[in-house]
Amino acid sequence: MGRSRVSFVLTVAASCSVLMGYAQTPTPSPRAGTPGGRRILTGWGGGKADDVVPKAAAVGFRELVVHHENAGNFARFIELGKQHEIDIYAWLYLGDLPAWKKAFPEHPPPVQVMNSEENAALERIKADQSVGKSQYQFGGEPVGITEVLLTPLLCFHDPRVLEAFKKQIGEMLSVPGVKGVAFDYIGYQNYRCCRCTQSQNRLATYRRQHVELTEEQSLARFSLETLVAFNNLLSAHARTVKPDAKVITHVYPVYLPEPLYGNRLDLDVCGQTAAWFFAPFWSLDKIREYARTISGEGKRYHRRPDGAALIGYYNSPEKYPVKSRERLTAELQAILDGGCPRVHVCSFNHVLKSSVAEEVFRAFFGRSAER
């Protein structure tokens, strides 16, 4: 998650890419009244480890996702995380052009391509300086006219993109004590497909193999199948590099033909949005229903994954309405009522800069709240 998630995320922290791992010992008994087991709070973000980890521990975070590029700070996250029973994950995101340059310094990055209507939407969104940005949702489910993501993303239909991120995963998992990797931004800038030449060529091949499908059906199936495959190839690669590494994700940006496709991903924990950041805030019925699907359907396709419900929390009152104590409490309760004890929040930095938000999350996830 981020900003234009980039400006949103990277400004916010490092991004919503910091998750906290849950402690291995001691193992608290499952909390009474929590269907599906123990509550685990994961945070995405960044910042300086010494400023962040002790405060996150006091709130009850068990996992944090942060950027690994500053090796000293990342090692400190891991060191402090160990002291505070917080697992640390390295953030991998599909907009990471430096990761591409590192792997293929001689070649321009193969970024995703959109059509003229989508590019016009991009320019309109970029130019919109109004407060609240006309309800632009930054990669969440759009509520108005055509939306696209502000952040350019690499096209994973180019096999070199898979190679670049395999290399990066190797680098991440070589850091002593890291719990695993956390995927972010793996999706389409236009929320549906990529229109670059390589993607169109592969789509044409797919259509020849699936003549029974309409053009619309084949585009949606090709786009979803390749999106899922990219995630699963990276996840399998991580286990090859380090068998006990964990792979987690936040499904983002939204894939409009099937927003809750995350249970198709064969990784350890799949975070899917249950309560987005921005107004209009989602209804509690929708939050409960999404949480029920995220958790209850988490193992529909694979034995491995647990579902996690992501709640967005963005505390910049001069720009966007901020969720109140009552609103945050109601959203978290709706997620738990939907039967999803694993919760991801982005960004943890925004939680930690608000005593109200800290108190709300501590009441649900704090060590002293364990029962």
Segment lying near Zn ion (by CB under 5 A), choices 123-131, 157-165, 277-285, 312-320: 157-165
List helix spans (H) across 41-143: 49-59, 71-83, 97-103, 116-127
Using the minimum distance from each CB to Zn ion, give the nearer residue, 13 or 161: 161
Lookup: tokens for 177: 């004590």
Q: What is the largest CA-CA distance in the chain?
A: 59
Block residue for tokens 């907009």: 95
Residue 97, phi then psi, degrees to nearest 5? -65, -35
DSSP helix/strand/coil, 328: helix
Lookup: tokens for 20: 């906290």
Using the minimum distance from each CB to Zn ion, give the nearer residue, 195 or 286: 195
Cβ partners under 8 Å of residue 22, min gap 6 = 38, 40, 62, 63, 85, 87
Contact 72, 80 (CB under 8 A): no
Segment lying near Zn ion (by CB under 5 A), choices 44-52, 117-125, 149-157, 211-219: 149-157
Of 103, 162, 196, 363, which one interacts with Zn ion (CB under 5 A)?
A: 196
Size of the residue set binding Zn ion (CB under 5 A): 5
349 binds Zn ion (CB under 5 A): no
194 binds Zn ion (CB under 5 A): yes
Of 199, 218, 223, 349, which one interacts with Zn ion (CB under 5 A)?
A: 199
Using the minimum distance from each CB to Zn ion, give the nearer residue, 155 or 228: 155
157 binds Zn ion (CB under 5 A): yes
Q: What's the burial of 92, exposed, middle or buried (CB within 10 Å: 0-12/13-18/19+)?
A: buried
Using the minimum distance from each CB to Zn ion, give the nearer residue, 157 or 246: 157
Alpha-carbon distance of 4 to 128, in angstroms, equals 12
Residue 269, phi then psi, degrees to nearest 5? -135, 125
Using the minimum distance from each CB to Zn ion, give the nearer residue, 199 or 249: 199
Smallest gap from Cβ 161 to Zn ion, in A, equals 9
192 binds Zn ion (CB under 5 A): no
Segment lying near Zn ion (by CB under 5 A), choices 11-19, 155-163, 170-178, 239-247: 155-163
Smallest gap from Cβ 193 to Zn ion, in A, equals 8
Smallest gap from Cβ 368 to Zn ion, in A, equals 50
Smallest gap from Cβ 366 to Zn ion, in A, equals 45
Segment lying near Zn ion (by CB under 5 A), choices 152-160, 212-220, 316-324, 339-347: 152-160
Residue 67, phi then psi, degrees to nearest 5? -70, 145
154 binds Zn ion (CB under 5 A): no
Smallest gap from Cβ 154 to Zn ion, in A, equals 9
Segment lying near Zn ion (by CB under 5 A), choices 3-11, 144-152, 191-199, 228-236: 191-199
DSSP state, 8?
Answer: I
Smallest gap from Cβ 196 to Zn ion, in A, equals 3
Give me the sign of the Cα torsion angle 155, 157, 159, 162.
positive
Give how far the C-alpha of residue 14 lies from the chain's centroid of Cα atoms, to the nearest Å.
Answer: 13
Contact 263, 270 (CB under 8 A): yes
Smallest gap from Cβ 194 to Zn ion, in A, equals 3
Using the minimum distance from each CB to Zn ion, give the nearer residue, 189 or 235: 189
Q: What's the burial of 48, exposed, middle or buried (CB within 10 Å: 0-12/13-18/19+)?
A: exposed
Radius of gyration, alpha carbons of the chain: 20
Residue 63 sits at the vertex; the CA angle it makes with 62 and 68, to the nearest 5 degrees, is 150
Alpha-carbon distance of 110 to 156, in angstroms, equals 9
Amino acid at residue number 71: A
191 membership: H or E segment, kind and range: none
Using the minimum distance from each CB to Zn ion, give the nearer residue, 12 or 186: 186
Segment lying near Zn ion (by CB under 5 A), choices 93-101, 150-158, 222-230, 318-326: 150-158
Using the minimum distance from each CB to Zn ion, give the nearer residue, 58 or 196: 196
Of 90, 154, 155, 186, which one interacts with Zn ion (CB under 5 A)?
A: 155
Using the minimum distance from each CB to Zn ion, give the nearer residue, 39 or 157: 157
Which positions touch Zn ion (CB under 5 A)?
155, 157, 194, 196, 199
